[in-house]
Amino acid sequence: MNTTTAHAHISIDVAPSVETLRLLWQQFERDPLRPMLLADTTAFLSAQHFCAAVGNTILPFVPHVDGAPAGMAWLYDVAMVTPKMIPVSAFLAVYVLEAFRSKNIIHECASEFLDIVRGYGLEQLWAEVRTDNVAPQYALRTFGFEQVAVLPSWKRYGGVWQNMVLYRRTLGISRERPWRESAACPTFGR
């Protein structure tokens, strides 16, 4: 999927390689803001843990700006309906690399990303953001997420428990769900 803007060429890789994920995770680990941006309680403590979970518990997406990886978004805690293991709801995490934080790539990629996950059949998308991290809260509201709750002392960042704001976006997919029989639907946990 590609989007071209006047400033940069944006694309989203929906099937990034293990090597791409490993290199991105190494950049996350070197980021001085990592303790503020990625919770201590994140299940993925290393690139190896993250890559091992791909396809079972997470689905990664890598936005590229002019061909360079700019960060990663991933779906986790995917709720599925049996017997076909159909994804209906998931949590969203986003990590933008330091060099791209001022370039507004989230706004550039958001509608394309939402189209992709809507195409997978997800009915709801959830996100948790620290109460003191205002920029992502603004971005979520801009893209149709509604605040559902404030969760006191919910996640630990840099060794300190933080309050989190819980957001939800209803994606409004077709009730008939013709995609459920197609190859476009990801296979989680199969």
- The residues, ordered by sequence, that sit 6+ positions from 45 with a Cβ below 8 Å of its Cβ are none
Indicate the pLDDT class of residue 12, thresholds 50, 70 and 90. Answer: very high
Taking the C-alpha atoms of residue 7 and residue 12, their distance in angstroms, rounded to an integer, is 16
Cis peptide before 83 (omega within 30 of 0): yes
Look at residue 95 in the predicted model and tell me its pLDDT.
Answer: 87
What is the DSSP secondary-structure string of 170-181? Answer: E----TT-GGGG
- The residues, ordered by sequence, that sit 6+ positions from 151 with a Cβ below 8 Å of its Cβ are 128, 163, 164, 165, 166
131 neighbors 189 (Cβ within 8 angstroms): no
Taking the C-alpha atoms of residue 16 and residue 62, their distance in angstroms, rounded to an integer, is 7
Number of H helices, E strands in the chain: 5, 9
As assigned by CATH, the class of the 2-179 domain is alpha beta
Interval 60-69: pLDDT, tens: 899 998 889 9
- Tokens 């933080």 correspond to 162
The residue extents of the domains of the chain are 2-179
Answer yes or no: pTM beyond 0.85: no
- Tokens 């999927």 correspond to 1
Q: Is the pLDDT of residue 3 over 50?
A: no
Interval 26-64: pLDDT, tens: 888 888 887 777 776 565 556 666 766 676 667 889 999
Interval 132-148: pLDDT, tens: 988 888 888 988 999 99
